[in-house]
Amino acid sequence: REGAVRHVTFDLPIALQREEIEFLAFGHPIVDALVDRVRSTEYGGRTSVRRILTDEIPRARGWLFIYELELGGLSPRRQLLPVFVHLDGRVDAELAQWLLARSMSLRQESFQDELAIPDHDERFEGALLAAENETVTTLLDLQADMQAVNLERLEEERRKRERFYNYRSIAAEEKRAANHRTYDRLLNSPEPDDRRILPVWQKNLEQAEHMITLIEEERVERLSELDGREQVTAQHQLFAASYVSVEPDPAPLFAQAEAALTPSMFSTFKGLCKPVSAFNLASLLPTIEKRRRDLVAMAEKLPAVDIPLAAAIGESLEAALADCDVYAPSERELLLGAVQYFLLLDDEDHDLKAPDGFVDDARVAAIVLDVVGRPELTVNLKGAYENAVAG
């Protein structure tokens, strides 16, 4: 912190205008050191867990692999290839490009609730194999495309270099011949002044002859650079890997619920929504089942309470929680709120003290199940709810 101060910029025009400001680009020691650091196998950023909340693309979960492709030939080429593999093994090139572009935009992707990375099981190994196969296929296609073009460019480059050195050889030979004529004239001249400058022209002649030799040596060297470049070499390296979860933005989800509920109902419901893991959400299943069975058993003691509606709510929520792994974290928050609202006795209307005590519970559950993409679970629930409202 108390060392030398360095003024730097990424803006080339500024660096050109002010010599005291260093231009940060490839080749600068600071930039090169940073690149070497992030490319090292010890750098933790080579692997990551990314949770992306967005409504730009459909929800998805899987692994994103970033490969570095390098192709040889006359015009070497290096590029990054993103490969995204869904949990079911599908390779998604479009999503891979979208994720790479988002990474380069440096948008914030850190959240309070941590996303757990899956174990390196058979699914991961299968995803890695699929990514490798996709990368090799892409690399071979690029190599084949470059091969024909490379041969044409190689022949053109060889002809261009031959023409260039032929021109230089002719020019050098003409200069040597001109110097030689001048040297011979001075050598045979009887004039003392001509004899005095003879050493200068002898030196000029030697330099001209040396230049011809240098041109021929350079010709051989430059043409030999093209040898062995007929074939386009290809290789790849895994650059980075991430487990990615693309999830709906929770803000619109809560907005949908808010629009369908009364302010007091939404306020109570929103207060019950908390980040919850799939395991902890699924652990509430026995509690819901017990509440439903208890209410059915109490039907004779509570004739004024709409037990069929309560049972329909319980059955719908039980079905929703049967497989909690399919929900995004933001969706699990809403489901937790719906479950807790159902378990809460004194909500909008007390569940056991009013004939329509479960109407608000049914409304909350129906809205949440619609929002999280389980509308099929609301069929019986909506029917019981509509009957209750009509009654």
- Tens of pLDDT, residue by residue over 26-54, are 889 999 999 888 878 777 777 788 888 88
- pLDDT grade for 382, boundaries at 50, 70 and 90: low
Q: Where are the alpha helices (DSSP H) in 247-306?
A: 250-260, 263-272, 278-282, 285-297
Q: At 256, is the secondary structure helix, strand, or coil?
A: helix
Please give the mean pLDDT across all residues of the chain.
86
Residue 350 has what pLDDT? 80
SS (H, E, C) 78-109: EEEEEEEEECCCCECHHHHHHHHHHHHCCCCC
pLDDT at residue 391 is higher than 60: no
Q: What is the mean pLDDT of residues 250-266?
A: 82
pLDDT tens-digit profile of 186-201?
Answer: 888 888 887 788 889 8
Spatial distance between the Cα atoms of 126 and 85, rounded to a whole number of angstroms: 9
- pLDDT grade for 115, boundaries at 50, 70 and 90: low
Q: What is the mean pLDDT of residues 72-92?
A: 90
Q: Buried (b) or exposed (e) across 143-182, using 16+ Cβ within 10 A?
A: beebeeebbebbeebeeebeeebeebeeebeebbeebeeb
Q: What is the mean pLDDT of residues 235-257?
A: 84
pTM of the predicted protein model: 0.54
Spatial distance between the Cα atoms of 41 and 35, rounded to a whole number of angstroms: 12
Residue 55 has what pLDDT? 77
pLDDT at residue 339 is higher than 90: yes
pLDDT at residue 1 is higher than 80: no
Q: What is the mean pLDDT of residues 255-272?
A: 86
Q: Which two tokens stand for residue 46?
A: 């080579």
Cβ pair 61, 247 in contact under 8 A: no
Q: What is the mean pLDDT of residues 182-188?
A: 88
pLDDT at residue 385 is higher than 70: no
Q: What is the mean pLDDT of residues 106-134?
A: 79
Residue 346 has what pLDDT? 82
What is the C-alpha end-to-end distance of the chain, expressed in Å?
75
Q: How deeply is 281 buried, as exposed, middle or buried, from its count of CB atoms within 10 A (0-12, 13-18, 19+)?
A: buried
pLDDT at residue 117 is higher than 70: yes
Q: What is the mean pLDDT of residues 360-385?
A: 80
